[in-house]
Amino acid sequence: MLKIDKVSKSYGKSSLKAVDAVSFEVARGEIYGFLGPNGAGKTTMIKMIVGLLRPDEGTIFADGIDVWKSPIEGKRILSYVPDNPQIYTKLKGIEYLNFIVDVYGVGDRERKERIEKYASMFEMDRVLDEIIESYSHGMQQKIVLIGALLHEPKVLILDEPMVGLDPKASFTLKELMRTYCENGSSVFFSTHILDVAQRICDRVAIIDKGRLVTQGTIAQLQEKMGEDESLEEMFLEITKR
């Protein structure tokens, strides 16, 4: 569903690569966790996948489409939720969601059903007529999540999606991620909450200093490490400086 092939990225004239020849694949129906310390290259990688940063080298495919050669088609397949909500705060919640479905050409019937479904799921249905700048950080995160789901993307890209969410919304999102994948789509997400990654991910990858250092199921990582450790313990050992 998502294929990253030898992707690299440097900033400015620096010879130090923020992302260095990274390759991995996310299968259809898979929750794939992308883990790493601060500054490891996670957000740079995500921004290249969604079209915000051009790779220096390598290719990125979403459902067989090169997202840089065919950016419009690629963006119809993907949906992106950044770690910090970036949103038009002068709009009402419902105006923002209608803007999103207009961009993706979602029909009137489908948009109404989907907005009602996801707004109710995240307990935002009663505040959609309010201005977004009046929302808390967590509410803004919810409205961005709802917007990302409305065109039913095949690959959902989430960068620290639990930040700012209350416990109920976090639980709802985790349940939604699993249901989403059971219906044939895929989730690629970055998180620092390693116990969440251990519970819900089918596979995880760990990036450090721009390089992908390991990937696999939790059981496969434990086998590589030779110990029955938690993901947190393995992560700390793998990324120790």
Predicted local distance difference test score (pLDDT) of residue 241: 54
Q: What is the pLDDT of residues 52-102, one digit of tens each?
A: 999 999 999 999 999 999 999 998 999 999 988 788 899 999 999 999 999
Predicted local distance difference test score (pLDDT) of residue 60: 96
Q: Which of 55, 2, 13, 6 is nearest to 212 (CA)?
A: 6
Span 20-24, average pLDDT: 95
Predicted local distance difference test score (pLDDT) of residue 143: 95
Which structural domain range is residue 158 located in? 2-238
Predicted local distance difference test score (pLDDT) of residue 84: 83
DSSP label at residue 27: -
Give the pLDDT band (50/70/90) at residue 163.
confident
Look-up: residue for tokens 């250092």? 213
Mean confidence (pLDDT) of the chain: 92
81, 153 in Cβ contact below 8 A?
Answer: no
Predicted local distance difference test score (pLDDT) of residue 225: 83
Cα–Cα distance list, 39 to 79, 138, 209 (Å): 23, 24, 7
Give the pLDDT band (50/70/90) at residue 12.
confident
Q: 114 Cβ partners below 8 Å, 6+ apart? A: 101, 106, 149, 150, 152
What's the CA gap between 141 and 164, in Å, rounded?
Answer: 7
Number of domains in the chain: 1
* CATH number of the domain enclosing 131: 3.40.50.300
Span 194-206, average pLDDT: 93
What's the CA gap between 46 and 60, in Å, rounded?
Answer: 11
Predicted local distance difference test score (pLDDT) of residue 14: 67
Cα–Cα distance list, 66 to 41, 63, 181 (Å): 21, 9, 22
Look-up: residue for tokens 């840089």? 68
Q: Going by DSSP bridges, is the β-strand pair 78-81/186-190 parallel, antiparallel, or unpaired?
A: unpaired
Q: What is the pLDDT of residues 98-131, one digit of tens each?
A: 999 999 998 889 999 999 999 999 999 999 999 9
Q: 232 Cβ partners below 8 Å, 6+ apart? A: 194, 195, 198
Instruction: Read off the pTM.
Output: 0.91
Span 19-35, average pLDDT: 95
Portion of the chain with pLDDT greater than 70, in percent:
99
